[in-house]
Amino acid sequence: MDEKVLEEIQFHQDVINKDADSPLFQIREKEIEISGRVLAAKTKAEAVVAEARKKAAETVGKADDEGERLAREHEAKALAAAEAEAVKIRSSVGVDVETIQATISSRSSDAVALVVDMIKGS
Protein backbone atom coordinates (compact mmCIF):
# COMPACT_ATOMS: atom_id res chain seq x y z
CA MET A 1 0.00 0.00 0.00
CA ASP A 2 0.97 3.60 -0.43
CA GLU A 3 2.72 5.15 2.57
CA LYS A 4 0.19 7.99 2.69
CA VAL A 5 -2.73 5.57 2.84
CA LEU A 6 -1.11 3.66 5.71
CA GLU A 7 -0.43 6.92 7.51
CA GLU A 8 -4.03 7.98 7.10
CA ILE A 9 -5.35 4.68 8.43
CA GLN A 10 -3.06 4.93 11.45
CA PHE A 11 -4.18 8.50 12.06
CA HIS A 12 -7.88 7.56 11.98
CA GLN A 13 -7.28 4.68 14.37
CA ASP A 14 -5.51 7.05 16.74
CA VAL A 15 -8.40 9.50 16.51
CA ILE A 16 -10.94 6.86 17.39
CA ASN A 17 -8.96 6.16 20.52
CA LYS A 18 -8.55 9.90 21.38
CA ASP A 19 -10.52 13.13 21.23
CA ALA A 20 -11.60 14.04 17.68
CA ASP A 21 -12.39 17.66 18.57
CA SER A 22 -8.88 18.69 19.53
CA PRO A 23 -7.09 21.37 17.45
CA LEU A 24 -4.23 18.97 16.83
CA PHE A 25 -6.65 16.46 15.31
CA GLN A 26 -8.21 19.13 13.09
CA ILE A 27 -4.76 20.28 11.89
CA ARG A 28 -3.72 16.73 11.15
CA GLU A 29 -6.97 16.09 9.30
CA LYS A 30 -6.33 19.17 7.12
CA GLU A 31 -2.77 18.01 6.48
CA ILE A 32 -4.05 14.65 5.24
CA GLU A 33 -6.69 16.35 3.08
CA ILE A 34 -4.09 18.67 1.52
CA SER A 35 -1.70 15.76 1.05
CA GLY A 36 -4.44 13.93 -0.86
CA ARG A 37 -5.01 16.95 -3.07
CA VAL A 38 -1.29 17.28 -3.75
CA LEU A 39 -1.08 13.60 -4.64
CA ALA A 40 -4.06 13.95 -7.01
CA ALA A 41 -2.51 17.03 -8.63
CA LYS A 42 0.81 15.23 -9.00
CA THR A 43 -0.89 12.25 -10.65
CA LYS A 44 -2.78 14.55 -13.00
CA ALA A 45 0.42 16.47 -13.86
CA GLU A 46 2.24 13.22 -14.62
CA ALA A 47 -0.59 12.20 -16.95
CA VAL A 48 -0.44 15.58 -18.72
CA VAL A 49 3.35 15.30 -19.12
CA ALA A 50 3.04 11.73 -20.45
CA GLU A 51 0.45 12.86 -23.00
CA ALA A 52 2.64 15.81 -24.03
CA ARG A 53 5.62 13.50 -24.52
CA LYS A 54 3.49 11.17 -26.63
CA LYS A 55 2.31 14.06 -28.82
CA ALA A 56 5.86 15.39 -29.12
CA ALA A 57 7.09 11.98 -30.27
CA GLU A 58 4.30 11.82 -32.84
CA THR A 59 5.15 15.32 -34.07
CA VAL A 60 8.82 14.45 -34.42
CA GLY A 61 7.91 11.26 -36.29
CA LYS A 62 5.66 13.19 -38.67
CA ALA A 63 8.37 15.81 -39.22
CA ASP A 64 10.90 13.07 -40.03
CA ASP A 65 8.50 11.48 -42.51
CA GLU A 66 7.73 14.84 -44.13
CA GLY A 67 11.45 15.64 -44.36
CA GLU A 68 12.18 12.33 -46.05
CA ARG A 69 9.30 12.85 -48.49
CA LEU A 70 10.50 16.34 -49.39
CA ALA A 71 14.07 15.09 -49.83
CA ARG A 72 12.88 12.36 -52.21
CA GLU A 73 10.85 14.89 -54.21
CA HIS A 74 13.81 17.27 -54.42
CA GLU A 75 16.11 14.42 -55.47
CA ALA A 76 13.67 13.34 -58.20
CA LYS A 77 13.40 16.91 -59.54
CA ALA A 78 17.18 17.39 -59.52
CA LEU A 79 17.70 14.04 -61.26
CA ALA A 80 15.11 14.88 -63.93
CA ALA A 81 16.77 18.27 -64.54
CA ALA A 82 20.20 16.62 -64.82
CA GLU A 83 18.87 14.03 -67.28
CA ALA A 84 17.27 16.77 -69.40
CA GLU A 85 20.58 18.67 -69.43
CA ALA A 86 22.43 15.49 -70.44
CA VAL A 87 20.04 14.92 -73.34
CA LYS A 88 20.53 18.52 -74.44
CA ILE A 89 24.32 18.18 -74.28
CA ARG A 90 24.25 14.87 -76.20
CA SER A 91 22.15 16.38 -78.98
CA SER A 92 24.43 19.41 -79.30
CA VAL A 93 27.51 17.14 -79.33
CA GLY A 94 26.01 15.20 -82.25
CA VAL A 95 25.59 18.39 -84.24
CA ASP A 96 29.17 19.46 -83.41
CA VAL A 97 30.54 16.08 -84.52
CA GLU A 98 28.69 16.32 -87.83
CA THR A 99 30.08 19.83 -88.41
CA ILE A 100 33.62 18.68 -87.65
CA GLN A 101 33.28 15.66 -89.95
CA ALA A 102 32.03 17.89 -92.77
CA THR A 103 34.98 20.24 -92.27
CA ILE A 104 37.43 17.32 -92.26
CA SER A 105 36.04 15.84 -95.45
CA SER A 106 36.08 19.25 -97.21
CA ARG A 107 39.68 19.88 -96.21
CA SER A 108 41.07 16.37 -96.61
CA SER A 109 41.95 16.94 -100.27
CA ASP A 110 43.80 20.13 -99.30
CA ALA A 111 45.69 18.21 -96.59
CA VAL A 112 46.69 15.45 -99.00
CA ALA A 113 47.93 18.03 -101.53
CA LEU A 114 49.95 19.77 -98.82
CA VAL A 115 51.60 16.52 -97.70
CA VAL A 116 52.43 15.57 -101.30
CA ASP A 117 53.96 19.01 -101.94
CA MET A 118 56.07 18.67 -98.77
CA ILE A 119 57.34 15.25 -99.85
CA LYS A 120 58.14 16.50 -103.37
CA GLY A 121 59.94 19.54 -102.08
CA SER A 122 62.23 17.59 -99.79
Q: What is the pLDDT of residue 73?
A: 96
Q: What is the pLDDT of residue 74?
A: 96
CA distances from 116 to 67, 103, 105, 106, 108 (A): 70, 20, 17, 17, 12
Residue ranges per domain, the chain? 3-121
Q: What is the pLDDT of residue 14?
A: 67
Q: Model pTM?
A: 0.48
- The whole-angstrom separation of Cα 18 and Cα 122 is 141
Q: What is the pLDDT of residue 122?
A: 60
Residuewise pLDDT in 10s, the chain (122 residues) = 567 667 777 766 666 556 666 777 778 788 888 888 998 999 999 999 999 999 999 999 999 999 999 999 999 999 999 999 988 887 777 777 778 888 888 888 888 888 888 888 76
Q: What is the pLDDT of residue 52?
A: 96
